A and B are shown apart, each in its own frame.
Chain A
Amino acid sequence: MAHEKVNGCVILKDLHYNVDNNTWVRVLDDSTVAVGMTDVAQNLAGPLLHAKTKNVGTTRRLGKPIATVESGKYVGPVKSPVAGEITKVNPELAGDAGLINRSPYNGGWIVEMKADNLSEDLSAMVSGDDAVAAYKAKIERDNIQACEQIEGADTYD
């Protein structure tokens, strides 16, 4: 799985990104996706203390919170990149929110969702080289500091 690092932040090329909300989507089948925070997002939030996901069965409109994450001084929503229903939540996060910091794209996935209209939602996201370019622009525009490496960042996949 190819990845690229922008200012130290890992971007996996096979994921779909909502760059504004700093979330990623991994397509699991025709309508099911896994959702998480990007490396950039977890670095901005800092070492996480709590990650509270919404319950399975909750339906969310685009941009509404699927989880709340808290670090020492920060709290913020993880905004849903798709409209649909939460079908699974990551059970590890309740006791170990730091998993999102250590492994934002794998062990630190946040929820799985059944999307109402996946193709429409995906068309508003970027992936591959476009995602890398979008993050380069964002990091420069927002003056985002270099990411501290997540576990295994050099061979991340």
Chain B
Amino acid sequence: MAETMQALDLSQNKYSDVTMEEKDRLFAEVKSDDRWEHVLYGCYECGICVAACPSARFYDFSPRVIAQAVAREDTDLVYTLMADSIWDCSQCFSCDRCPRQNSPGQIITIMREVAVKNGLTSAKEALQGYGRIIYKIMLTGTQVSPDMLQPDAFPDWGTHVHEIAENLDDWRKALPPETLHTTETSWTIDDKTIIELYLIWHMTGVMDLISGVDEGLYDIIVDVMEERLEEAGYDDVTFD
């Protein structure tokens, strides 16, 4: 049976178990962002943002609903959107053609960041499929690795994806730069770069964000980082 598009439930009832104080707090955090005053000016309801939005064609999603909900300061609806709708946006910023200079895409960026910082269930669910990408980028600084190209992950590549995956070492060695003769990372990464990267994660407190959305991922990343930092002489750097 073909899957049908799930209609977005914008009623006030879906998240009635969350207190208004909590919804107010989260919305206040969104509005306190430094970018806030540059992303929302008002809405003519012209629908240009929706017309340009690729996600609106495939999901029950509307950038205009986002802009209007935050403009009306409808705290209840803003929470509902933060828990559901904002994760349907592809962050392509096609909506950045608003005659009032609104940017629904950037409003969503801020809402997503608040959702992640506060460990909202929707953020955990949305990021679940990106675990390995987060793992790669945090530990190696390269976002994707050639060995992600597996038949089970990319069936849409066609039958030859089997051949590519099975002979990945050879394909990579056929590339002229030696730094690309890698399968687990996009390119060879210098030890110095790795250590600097880990020190940046430590100084900025970014690991706290990850522990809020995926504790298991946090554990394995911290494990590797602490080990490498200790080997490099940074015995006193811990993430606990």
Contact = CB atoms under 8 A, between A and B. Distances in A.
Nearest to A79: B216
B233 interface: no
Interface of B is mostly: helix
A102 to B, nearest CB: 15
A109 to B, nearest CB: 19
A149 B220 CA distance: 29
B158 interface: no
Give the interface size bracket for A toward B. 10 to 19
Interface string A65-95: 1001011111111010000000000000000
B129 interface: yes
A49 interface: yes
Interface in B119-154: 129, 131-132, 135, 147-150, 152-154
Nearest to A46: B152
A94 to B, nearest CB: 13
A49 B147 contact: yes
B217 interface: yes
B184 A76 contact: no
Given A47-B152, A49-B147, A49-B150, A75 B131 contact: yes
B131 A74 contact: yes
A150 B132 CA distance: 24
A16 to B, nearest CB: 21
B219 interface: yes
Given A49-B150, A50-B184, A64 B131 contact: no
A76 B223 contact: no
B216 A76 contact: yes
Given A47-B150, A49-B147, A75-B131, 15 more contacts: A46-B152, A47-B152, A54-B223, A64-B223, A65-B219, A65-B220, A65-B223, A68-B220, A71-B150, A72-B148, A72-B149, A73-B153, A75-B220, A77-B219, A79-B219
What 6 A-B pairs have minimum CB-CB distances, sorted nearest first?
A72-B150, A72-B153, A75-B132, A75-B135, A68-B220, A77-B220
